[in-house]
């Protein structure tokens, strides 16, 4: 069997962390033949809680889990990791200004980025989950310039999966029968879930475009988009906690596709550095449809973009430009 791979989860004592670490230990991130050593980071006040998670991981007797580091020491957490799932962050609380929250996250990401750059594996693959995920990923790059752009991503796979699920429910087919939706832009309520290139295999086994299978453009152009954009808030309202189960599952989908590749003819959505494709300002971390192969992602090129989509893609880009400017102003202070 392969040598164990070290995987970092920051914010491991939190909601998503608690849902994510058992999936990693079961092989859902790196595959059923890949032993792992879990590095779990949280802040000092959460150490008892993190210790409790460690105790449960031991009690679960996962065959693939070959070691656990549970720590509040950023250097210890970052050392030797090949995959970094950045879940920890400072949430926006009622009455807080955006700048204040961004300031707290900039200081968190500054320290963690510097540790990753210095102590992680040279080819570490990073996925930022903590919000504002796209901009946190940019901040991470700012303080870890040695980590290549192509290795820094943010999670929009949950939004992608939510879009697939909505279409599957509407058409009445298993979710596996739907593919090639795209999430464009920010992991926020301005994201644009795009069905124009997607395909559904109907119950009769016939492949149709999503628009043809759903046969309700009004729903697709309005309610569907809003449901996907606001799904996170809807779940918080019902559960009183974040969508931790589905976020953790999406992290595994994101990383496992990144490493093992996407199926022929299928793409997924990932927040990645824009190279200017589709007129998106270069240098933003923006969610694009991507294919992956041999551990590398590539933006799907040549999709036709209509005026409706263009306006939505530009609006979410404008929000990211604004977030970047805010982060830059904090970084320069
Ligand atoms: P949570 O509040 O339950 O957990 C966050 C954890 O991060 C806490 O244990 C906290 O102590 C820890 N933390 C705070 N500062 C830290 C630091 N400097 N170093 C290490 N750990 C630190 O939150 P939850 O529900 O687990 O969500 C985590 C993040 O993920 C939030 O920012 C949330 O908005 C975001 N999120 C992103 C999604 C996406 O699709 N990109 C989906 C759902 C949530």
What does the alpha-carbon distance between residue 295 and residue 281 come to, in Å, rounded to a whole number? 25
Residue whose CB lies within 8 A of the most ligand 1 atoms, among 50, 242, 270, for a mutation test: 242
User: pTM, whole model, 2 decimals?
Assistant: 0.98
Is residue 98 over pLDDT 90? no
Q: Is the CB of 25 under 6 A from ligand 1?
A: no
Beta strands in 163-221 (DSSP E): 178-179, 182-184, 192-194, 199-201, 207-209
CB-ligand 1 contact for 128 (6 Å cutoff): no
Strands of 25-76, DSSP E: 36-41, 65-71
Residue 293: pLDDT above 80? Answer: yes
Q: Is residue 228 within 6 Å of ligand 1 at its C-beta?
A: no
- Whether the per-residue pLDDT at 173 is higher than 90: the answer is yes
Residue 130 is labelled as binding a ligand: yes
101 lines ligand 1 (CB under 6 A): no
* Ligand 1 in reach of 242 Cβ (< 6 A): yes
Tell me if residue 160 is catalytic: no
pLDDT in tens, 6-65: 999 999 999 999 999 999 999 999 999 999 999 999 999 999 999 999 999 999 999 999
- Calculate the average pLDDT of the chain: 96
The C-alpha atoms of residue 16 and residue 286 are separated, in whole angstroms, by: 22
pLDDT at 94 over 80: no
Encode burial over 22-44: b for 16+ CB neighbours within 10 A, e otherwise.
Answer: bebbbbbbbeeebbbbbbbbbee
Pocket test for ligand 1, best of 10, 12, 13, 16 (most atoms within 8 A of CB): 16
ipTM of the complex: 0.99
State the distance from the centre of ligand 1 to the C-alpha of 49, rounded, in angstroms: 14
CA of 123 to the centre of ligand 1 (A): 24
Delineate the domains of the chain, giving CATH numbers in brackets: 5-154 (3.40.50.720), 156-324 (3.90.110.10)
**Cβ(89) to ligand 1 under 6 A?**
yes
pLDDT in the model for residue 100: 87
The reply, when asked if residue 170 is annotated as ligand binding, is no
Cα distances from 258 to residues 77, 125, 175, 213, 262, in angstroms, run: 22, 9, 20, 29, 8
To the question of whether residue 210 is assigned a binding role by annotation, the answer is no
3-state helix, strand, coil in the chain (%, to 5): 45, 20, 35
| Per-residue pLDDT tens digits for 191-247 | 999 999 999 999 999 999 999 999 999 999 999 999 999 999 999 999 999 899 999
Does residue 160 contact residue 183 with C-beta atoms inside 8 Å? yes
pLDDT at 75: 98
Please tell me whether 162 is known to bind a ligand.
yes
């Amino acid at each position: 069997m392969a040598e164990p791979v070290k995987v970092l989860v920051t914010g491991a004592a939190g909601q998503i962390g608690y849902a994510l670490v058992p999936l990693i230990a079961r092989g859902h991130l790196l595959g059923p033949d890949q032993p792992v050593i879990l590095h779990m980071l949280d802040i000092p006040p959460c150490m008892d809680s993190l210790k409790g998670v460690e105790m449960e991981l031991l009690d679960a007797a996962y065959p693939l889990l070959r070691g656990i580091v549970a720590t509040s020491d950023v250097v210890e957490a970052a050392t030797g990791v090949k995959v970094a799932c950045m879940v920890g962050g400072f949430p926006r609380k009622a009455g807080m200004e955006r700048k204040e929250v961004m300031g707290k996250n900039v200081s968190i990401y500054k320290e963690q980025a510097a540790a990753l750059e210095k102590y992680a594996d040279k080819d570490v693959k990073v996925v930022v989950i903590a919000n504002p995920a796209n901009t946190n990923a940019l901040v991470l790059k700012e303080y870890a310039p040695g980590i290549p752009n192509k290795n820094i991503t943010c999670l929009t796979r949950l939004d992608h999966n939510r879009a697939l699920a909505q279409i599957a429910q509407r058409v009445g087919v298993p979710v596996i029968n739907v593919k090639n939706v795209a999430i464009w832009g920010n992991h926020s309520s301005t994201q644009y879930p795009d069905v124009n290139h997607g395909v559904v295999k109907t119950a009769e086994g016939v492949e149709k475009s999503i628009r043809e299978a759903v046969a309700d453009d009004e729903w697709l152009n309005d309610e569907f988009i809003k449901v996907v954009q606001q799904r996170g808030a809807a779940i918080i309202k019902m559960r009183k906690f974040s969508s931790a189960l589905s976020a953790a599952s999406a992290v595994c989908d994101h990383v496992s596709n990144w490493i093992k590749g996407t199926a022929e003819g299928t793409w997924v959505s990932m927040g990645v550095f824009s190279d200017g494709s589709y007129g998106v300002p270069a240098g933003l971390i923006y969610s694009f449809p991507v294919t992956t192969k041999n551990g590398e992602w590539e933006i799907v090129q040549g999709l036709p973009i209509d005026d409706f989509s263009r306006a939505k893609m530009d609006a979410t880009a404008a929000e990211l430009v604004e977030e970047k400017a805010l982060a830059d102003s904090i970084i320069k202070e």
